[in-house]
Amino acid sequence: MKSLGTNWFIEGSIDFEHKKYILLDYLQEINRHFDRSRLYPNLTDLIFHYNNLLDFKHNKTVLQQAFPQRLTKADIEALKLTYQKIVEDDATMREIENIISYSLQKMDPAIQTGKEIYDFVESRLSIDPIGLVPLMPYNGYFSLRNGNERTNWVYEYQITIFENKDDKFRGINVQFVDTYTQSITNTPEALKLQLINQRKHLANPALYYVSSDISFPLEQTLLPVAKRSLVKYISNAA
């Protein structure tokens, strides 16, 4: 997909019409993906750029102390910024403000569309534990079925907890294990026994059967939404 640089709105020529063209071209592709219910990485990328603009806007008074300078290079890994002197600071800042205001206004409807698609996909998911759930269900497996497809995708998951000074957050790491064709005899219950027998590193794993009643793009939509929904389900049940 077409992407925007982290600091696209202040890199190169700071010209409203030029930045408008770049933004609209980017949003056109984002919306093409959304029209096909392809959420990721498009929605994540869009929200990142939206928040990046807000951060710049809210910290403008601090950043203005560094002007007249213009961000020309970003070393994200090292978090180092280099600056190049510019002329007419006030005029440049006004142009940047116009670019940011316009961009936020245009990005917001696309984000809302993405969130509506996400909510719809989540509403079509069901999550069922298979057999007994261990007291600490933060490592285990889930079987993912996409609509009426008989093929199930099996993943091992690990839920991680990280925190900042204000709150705790949960994330999930997944690893593809295998696929199996669901049938009268080849059931999620049979799958759990097979996993226990063949994968000894988890002696008493949890297994969740995650299914949607409508087919969605697997990698771009169903799997990312299923992962987040599973984290929410386990967190609420724990």
Phi and psi, residue 225, nearest 5°: -70, -40
Same structural domain, 29 and 118: yes
Range of the domain at 160: 126-237
Same structural domain, 85 and 186: no
Domains held by the chain: number: 2
Q: Look at residue 9 and tell me if it is in a domain.
A: no
Q: What is the pLDDT of residue 135?
A: 87
Q: What is the pLDDT of residue 152?
A: 96
Six-digit token string for 153: 């995708």
Listed residues 82, 98, 122: the one ending a domain: 122
Q: What is the pLDDT of residue 61?
A: 47
Same structural domain, 107 and 192: no
Q: Look at residue 132 and tell me if it is in a domain.
A: yes
Q: Mutual orientation of helices 89-123 and 42-58 as an angle, nearest 10°?
A: 140
**Residues of the chain predicted below pLDDT 50:** 61-88
Same structural domain, 157 and 190: yes
Same structural domain, 118 and 49: yes
Q: Give pLDDT tens digits for 32-60.
A: 999 999 999 999 999 999 998 888 777 65
Task: CATH number of the domain at 171, please.
Answer: 3.40.1530
Exposure class string for 44-56: b at 16+ Cβ within 10 A, else e? ebbeebbebbeeb
Mean pLDDT, the chain, whole residue set: 85
Query: How far is the C-alpha of 114 from the C-alpha of 116, rounded, in Å?
Result: 5
Same structural domain, 217 and 118: no
Listed residues 122, 149, 176: the one ending a domain: 122
